Amino acid sequence: MKSPSAKPQSGEDLQARLSLVERLLSSDPAQADAQAAELLLAVPGQPMALLFQGIARRLMGNPASAIEILRPLCESWPDAPLPHLQLGLCLRETGDNEAAVQSMRRAVAINSDFSDAWLALADLLTAMADTAGADEAFGMYIRHSMREPRLLEAAAALRENRNGEAESLLRNHLDLHPNDIAALCMLADVLDRVPDRHDRLDEAEALLKRCLELAPSYARARHNYAVVVLRQNRAPAALKETDRLLADEPKNPDFRKLKAAILVRLREYEESIRICEGLLDENPNQPTVWTSLGHMLKSIGRREDCVEAYRKAIALAPHFGEPYWSLANLKTFQIADPELESMRVQLEKRDLGDEDGTHFHFAIGKALEDRGEFAESFRHYAEANRLRLKNNPYNADELTDHLRRCIALFTAELFADRGSCGASATDPIFILGLPRSGSTLVEQILSSHSAVEGTMELPDIAAIAKSLDTSKSGPDESKYPEALANMGQDALRELGHSYIEQTRVQRKLGTPFFIDKMPNNFAHVGLIHLILPNARIVDVRRHPLACGLSLFKEHFARAQNFSYSLEEIGRYYRTYVELMAHFDAVLPGRVHRVIYESLVNDTEVEVRRLLESCGLPFEESCLNFYENKRAVSTASSEQVRTPIFRKGLDHWRHYEPWLDPLKAQLGSLVETYAASPEHS
């Protein structure tokens, strides 16, 4: 057998022994050092053996010894970038940062594509507080980093929706390279893909914030940071980041699209439409932009232009499901036969993704419903919901646990003790309940009053609840809602003032009152009462089979994951009614309830009751709510622009043969849902 120090017999033999040393570097640097020494006895001065020996000694914690090997190697092998990088790493470890910078700069001067060297240089300059230099080096790293096998593997997993694998790869990589901004940005992207997980969004935001601390010029990170901030409903902050991007690249289409989306959240529809129209003037072949434009036109009531925009998107991308569903979701619109046939053709394609398939099934369900083909319509609705639930799992136990904890915490005694707490503002009118319960109609009626401004579904109460839950770090510290029990008058008042200030950006008309219509705020009635005791609260309730079916037929862009199963809808409705009954008991008369069926059957009486509960004088305009030209962004935007039609109350009966899972969960609520102090 050949001894380790024997002279290599051939080039292949030498390469094999060098490969062995290289493999040992990551697992056993001491053995790599020994093997390199043996090889150097056989082939004195062999450059790769010297390089590996220098790396091995650095990894063994002996950078001074490594420098003694690497410095002369760099002099004898001046055009090889890797020895210069390794020398720089050793110099940094000995504290000679200036020399380390020079060595790393020499490495990237030899090979400007050397992403590892750019990252090491950026890391070092960050440690030296050279922000501008680090930003520039990080920029060069980003330019070349996606050639790195480690990141390419994670990127491939992301493209194929293997999110768990991508996350694992990226976290392992970041354990070794915590300042790799490309990996930080990619990991944030993975975390942002999980809907309704606030902890994941919080981590994504933190990762992107770290990216921007390291590399302020990293445009992709800033764009993604703005998106994540917008996902958390902080539109003004997202707009600030986007305007910063546009200051550098005013024509960038991605930045302009993002600004248009943010402006919609801020109810600046006309400016948002102007941006989209400008993008389409420059390049009309953008189906996603046509679809977004259609959504905006729908919100402000430009129905014909909206339909035209959706149909242009369809013509450009027949496989794109969203504009078909958007057409179908114009509640007063009927899909034409050619469009229905086109959707059926698309569903037969094997490469159709789940998201497009979900849109097509929802849209076909609506088209068949309009044609009276209810059995086939329900089959498509059920398949759409199956696809949604597969990719958006729902944990019903969270709401059940929240109900239990609210009932335990929010007692009549607690509210009596906190009677004078909270901000004194009377401005807000909260409309809550369940989605598809008629809350948009109630909002339209109230916003038709001269003293009331309608806004949109505001996320601020949920954000306050989240902040109370996530601000506690210790295992023994109270979470939300229990944290409220420990808050004094000043803290509760400050939360109320904070809400008023946060929502001010949504108020355009200067009216004394404004509406916060967020159905899911039923879970936060206790919070609302404690921080805003003078605010009005209106609960809108609809027959559970009508409401449940309407939820099942609706494709929500995000959230409302409970709505993709008839069983879960029934359980959710039951929990909602139980929680509201508790607040009726401990805060008698605090919540005004509107029963949708009563509103439809006896509109004027119910409208007068509603206005009286809000302390508003009757105005005829509230009965003519369909003449209100304000922007409406919910699924009911078309319906609330028409007079009330009573014939729709029992439409759910067409689907009754398939509603047994919903009925089973609801039990007696099918008959008693309207029972309350006002409707018993």
Q: What's the pLDDT tens digit per position in 329-367?
A: 887 788 889 989 999 999 998 888 889 999 999 999 999
pLDDT of 665 above 60: yes
The two tokens of residue 559 are 């959230």
Which of 171-180, 425-434, 652-661 is predicted with the least confidence, judged by mean pLDDT?
Answer: 171-180
Q: What is the pLDDT of residue 554?
A: 93
- Is residue 289 pLDDT above 90, yes or no? yes
Q: How far apart are CA 90 and CA 122, in angstroms?
A: 16
* pLDDT-above-90 percentage for the chain: 57
Say how far apart CA 618 and CA 625 lie, in whole Å: 13
**202-223 per-position pLDDT tens digit:** 899 999 999 999 989 889 899 9
Contacting residues for 160 by C-beta, under 8 A, at least 6 apart? none
Quick check: 559 pLDDT over 50?
Answer: yes
Helices marked H in 160-302: 163-176, 181-192, 198-214, 219-231, 235-248, 253-265, 269-282, 287-299
pLDDT of residue 470: 67
Contacting residues for 579 by C-beta, under 8 A, at least 6 apart? 403, 406, 407, 522, 523, 525
SS3 content of the chain, % helix, strand, coil (to 5): 70, 5, 30
Distance (Å, whole) CA 85 – CA 120: 8
| CA–CA gap between residue 669 and residue 662 (Å, rounded) | 11
Q: How many residues does the chain have?
A: 680
**Residue 441: what pLDDT?**
92
Mean pLDDT for the chain?
89
**Are 179 and 122 in contact, with CB atoms under 8 Å apart?**
yes
What CATH topology corresponds to 149-391?
1.25.40
Could you give the CA distance from residue 210 to residue 266 in angstroms, rounded to a whole number? 27
CATH superfamily of the domain spanning 11-119:
Tetratricopeptide repeat domain (1.25.40.10)
Predicted confidence band of residue 123 (pLDDT cuts 50, 70, 90): confident
Domain covering 427-672 in this structure, CATH number: 3.40.50.300
Residue 341: how many other CB atoms lie within 10 Å: 10
Asked if pLDDT for residue 635 goes beyond 60, the answer is no
> Which amino acid is located at 635 in the chain?
A
**Can you tell me the distance from the alpha carbon of 408 to that of 195, in angstroms, rounded to the nearest whole number?**
29
pLDDT digits 0-9 by tens, 480-522:
999 999 899 999 999 999 999 999 988 989 999 999 999 999 9
Contact 367, 335 (CB under 8 A): yes
Q: Which residues of 154-175 are buried (b: 16+ CB within 10 A; e: fewer)?
A: bbebbeeeeeebbbebbeebbe
- Spell out the residues 6+ positions from residue 19 whose beta carbon is closer than 8 angstroms to its own: none
The CA distance from 530 to 490, in Å, is 11
53 within 8 A of 37, measured Cβ to Cβ: yes
Q: Report the pLDDT value the prediction gives residue 17, as an integer from 0 to 100.
A: 85
Q: Using pLDDT thresholds of 50, 70 and 90, give the confidence band for residue 42.
A: confident
Given a cut of 60, whether residue 472 has pLDDT beyond it is no
Asked whether residue 673 carries a pLDDT value surpassing 90, the answer given is yes
In this prediction, residue 2 carries a pLDDT of 46
- Position 608 scores a pLDDT of 96
Give residue 619's pLDDT: 94
pLDDT at 67 over 70: yes
Highest mean pLDDT out of 31-40, 287-296, 621-630 = 287-296
Tell me the C-alpha to C-alpha distance, in Å, between residue 56 and each of 35, 103, 165, 263, 524.
Answer: 10, 19, 31, 55, 60
Position 445, amino acid? I
Query: Are domains 11-119 and 149-391 of this chain identical in fold?
Result: yes
Residues 253-283 have pLDDT tens digits of 999 999 999 999 998 999 999 999 999 999 9
- Percentage, residues of the chain above pLDDT 70: 93
Of these ranges, 184-193, 299-308, 544-553, the one predicted with the greatest mean pLDDT is 544-553
Which DSSP string corresponds to 185-199?
Answer: HHHHHHHHTSTT-HH
- The predicted structure's pLDDT at residue 630: 58
* Tokens 């335990």 -> residue: 408
Is the pLDDT at 145 greater than 80? The verdict is no
Going 63 to 66 to 71 to 77, the CA torsion angle's sign is negative
Q: What is the mean pLDDT of residues 577-598?
A: 96
What does the pLDDT read at residue 680?
37
pLDDT for position 679: 42
All structural domains of the chain with their residue ranges: 11-119, 149-391, 427-672
Rounded mean pLDDT, 4-14? 65
Where residue 133 falls among pLDDT bands split at 50, 70, 90? confident
- For residue 164, what are its two tokens? 């768990």
pLDDT for 305: 93
pLDDT given at position 1: 34
